[in-house]
Amino acid sequence: MDLFRVEAEEEKQGEQKSTGTWLIAAGSLFGAMSLVPESCAVKSVNVQLDTAWGPERVIGWMPSRPVLNRSGGLPC
């Protein structure tokens, strides 16, 4: 199982685009790309071979800049 860092730009109709990184554990590049939402345009992919285990899954999404809550602070 490999660990993929997928830099992508989320495309939303009428909203500002947000960029960030998906962290995905998958057995192949095809498996990793199938887990990235269709609303995201992939910009680059970095892979670390044989560094993950378990089922194919999305581990998380990290925006390229901090997400602020309504009061202007960082989310909890």
Cα separation, 52 vs 20, in Å, equals 21
Write out pLDDT tens, residues 32-42: 999 998 888 89
- Arithmetic mean of pLDDT over the chain: 81
State pTM to two decimals: 0.74
- Sheet with strand 40-48: strands edge to edge: 40-48, 2-10, 18-26, 57-63
Tokens of 47: 């892979």
pLDDT score recorded for residue 59: 86
pLDDT score recorded for residue 73: 44
Report which residue type is found at 25. A
pLDDT score recorded for residue 75: 42
Q: pLDDT at residue 68 above 70? A: no
| Confidence category of residue 12, pLDDT binned at 50, 70, 90 | confident
Is the CA virtual torsion 38, 17, 22, 6 positive or negative?
positive
